[in-house]
Amino acid sequence: MPAPARLIVNMDVPDLARAEHFYCAVFGVSVGRRLGSGAVELLGLEAPIYLLEKAGDSAATAAAPARRNYQRHWTPVHLDVSVNDLDHARSMAIAAGAVDETGVRQAPYGRIATFADPFGHGFCLIEFNGMGYDAIAT
């Protein structure tokens, strides 16, 4: 039987050093490996994050006409990071340059805050209560 699949998160950013500093400060991750001059592996979450330095307005893929845009944008994929202390994590995110989009909101599963990173990517910080997502599971 083949090994189970493993999630790897790749994020395009226009400034690798700034992104490395941001994500290490906000998510408490650390640098694993450097993959040449344009990529760095961040470890410490359940899935590694790879930051890939790509210039703004560069082609997103060879086959698609889309161009990279690092202003705030919407994508159907974003990061949710579970934290033990949302207030502390939120203050770290803001201090590192995140834009707080909603403040802290109560949810049946705990507390949540949504942000944009300095590169336009959306992410959420979630402090689960004792029930977590079981509170909304059917």
In whole angstroms, give the CA distance from residue 46 to residue 65.
Answer: 33
CA nearest 58: which of 106, 12, 5, 109?
12
Between 38-42, 43-47, 50-54, 61-65, the lowest mean confidence (pLDDT) is in: 61-65
The pLDDT-based confidence of 109 (bands split at 50, 70, 90) is very high
- The pairing of strands 110-116 and 99-107 is antiparallel
Domains of the chain in start order, with CATH, are 9-56+75-135 (3.10.180.10)
pLDDT tens digits for 14-24?
A: 999 999 999 99
pLDDT digits (tens, 9 = 90+) for 111-138: 999 999 999 999 999 999 999 999 999 8
Q: Which sign, positive or negative, has the C-alpha torsion 96, 72, 57, 13?
A: positive
Residue in this structure with the two tokens 């790509």, named with its chain if needed:
54
Radius of gyration of the chain (CA): 16
Measure the CA–CA gap between 6 and 8, rounded to whole angstroms.
6
For residue 104, the number of C-alpha atoms closer than 13 Å in the C-beta half-sphere is 14
pTM: 0.85
Q: For residue 103, with 0-12 CB atoms within 10 Å meaning exposed, 13-18 middle and 19 or more buried, which class applies?
A: exposed
Query: Residue 73 — very low, low, confident or very high, per pLDDT cuts 50/70/90?
Result: confident
Nearest to 117 by CA among 84, 86, 78: 78
